[in-house]
Amino acid sequence: SIRYHSVRDGHVDEPPLVVLGQLLNGRTGRLYKALVEEQEVATSAFGGQSGYKYEGLFELRGTATQGTTPEEVELAIYAELNRLKQELVPERELQKVKNQNAAGTFRDLRSNYGLMMQLLIREGNRGWEHINTDPALYDAVTPEDIMRVANTYFTPESRAVAIYYRTEGEEAEADPLVGRLK
């Protein structure tokens, strides 16, 4: 797990960081394609921004394949971040992520529960009214914004890394509570 100190909810750089996370995340995201499909160093990969009332964090994770060390996964993640720092995201790729974001926002608001959660989160952080203005902020993100926030926030000085190892031969479901979830 790699975590970078980032920005609070409502900060001007939060929309570009959220969109950057969406560029990396999911089966069609850059992290999954690079680490899982192309390099085959990870079985899963994730990246995303979490903005809270007073501060935020950007987290990246990857689960190493058998025969790959967590450090190799870490280096592969840094390589993807460096691409974002050095190359502008193609407009078409960025628009795809914006479309997915808009569709996800719509889906979240279709149910009473989803609407309630979005209102509660916004009210807790900076005011429920932002549910109406946030989508336009995400839609306004440019490739230059993505490159700028990648260079600003993804620095060694603002990073914390945790590497987890499983003891050889240890079962993944050592916790009896996890076993009951099947």
Report the pLDDT value the prediction gives residue 132, as an integer from 0 to 100.
Answer: 79
What's the pTM?
Answer: 0.84
Task: Calculate mean pLDDT across residues 7-15.
Answer: 94
**Which has the closest alpha carbon to 60: 7, 21, 27, 30?**
21
Domain locations in the chain as residue ranges: 2-166
The answer to whether residues 62 and 35 touch, using CB atoms and an 8 Å cutoff, is yes
Over residues 55-111, the pLDDT tens digits come to 999 999 999 999 999 999 999 999 999 999 999 999 999 999 999 888 887 787 888
Report the pLDDT value the prediction gives residue 176, as an integer from 0 to 100.
Answer: 57
Task: Calculate mean pLDDT across residues 109-136.
Answer: 83
Strand duo 56-64 + 42-51: pairing: antiparallel
Domain boundaries 2-166, corresponding CATH code = 3.30.830.10
Over residues 144-181, the pLDDT tens digits come to 999 999 999 999 999 999 998 877 765 555 555 555 55
The total of other beta-carbon atoms located within 10 Å of residue 74's CB is: 18
Residue 36 tokens, joined: 């899982």
- Look at the alpha carbons of 29, 31, 33, 36 in this order and tell me if their dihedral is positive or negative: negative
Residue 139: is its pLDDT beyond 90? yes
Cα torsion 8, 12, 13, 14 to 10°: value is: 50
Residue 41, SS3 per DSSP: coil
